[in-house]
Amino acid sequence: MFNANLPRWIFASISKHFTTKCPSLMLFIEGQLRPTTLSKDWIELRVDGPYLTEVSKGYWKVYSEINVLLSSYMDQKNYHRIHQDAGTVAAAFTCIEIYRYGIGIEDDQSLVGAMQLVRDTRGRERIQISHFGMIDPDKQLYQATVEGHYSMFLES
C-alpha cells in the first residue's frame, strides 16, 4: 500500500514549487481567504488528485491535474499583464520534485520522487492556457487559467 501521507506531500510540494517559480505573483491555495486588494495580480492553485493506480504489485502510477487561476485588475498602463502572468505561470509547469514536507514523524523533508508533465504528440496532454476575459466590468477584473497534468511512478 502507498503511504497515507503521499497526497499531503504532493500538495505541499506543488504549492512550494509554484510559490518558488512565480515569485512576482501572490499565490493562494484553493479555498484560502485572500485579501485581493493587496495586489493587482494574484494566482490561485488548484490540484485534483492524486489519482493512484497500482499498475503491478507494489508499483503505483500517481497522476495529478494542476490548475492555476490567474486574476488581474487592468489599468491604463499595461493591457498585456494577464498574458504576461499566464506566461510566467506556464513557464513554471516543469518537473515538480515531491518531498516529505510537514512536521510529523515521517516528514523528514526527503525526496519521494518527481512528477513529470504529461505530454503527447496528438496534443491531448499539454500546458493549456485559457483566457476568460473581463469577468467583472465594474472592477475591470480579468481571469485566465493555466492547466497541466503530471504523473510519476512509485514503489511501495
Report the candidate in 51, 60, 61, 64 with the shortest Cα–Cα distance to residue 117.
64
Assessment of whether the complete model's pTM goes beyond 0.85: yes
CA 78, chain centre distance (Å) = 25
Counted domains in the chain: 1
Q: What CATH number does residue 58 fall under?
A: 3.30.2000.20
For the chain (length 156 residues), average pLDDT per consecutive 10?
90 97 92 71 94 95 97 84 96 98 93 94 84 86 96 93
Structure confidence at residue 135 (pLDDT): 87
Q: Is residue 1 part of a domain?
A: no
* Predicted local confidence at residue 19, as pLDDT: 95
Range of the domain at 71: 6-155
DSSP of 82-94:
HHHHHHHHHHT-S
**What pLDDT sits at residue 96?**
98
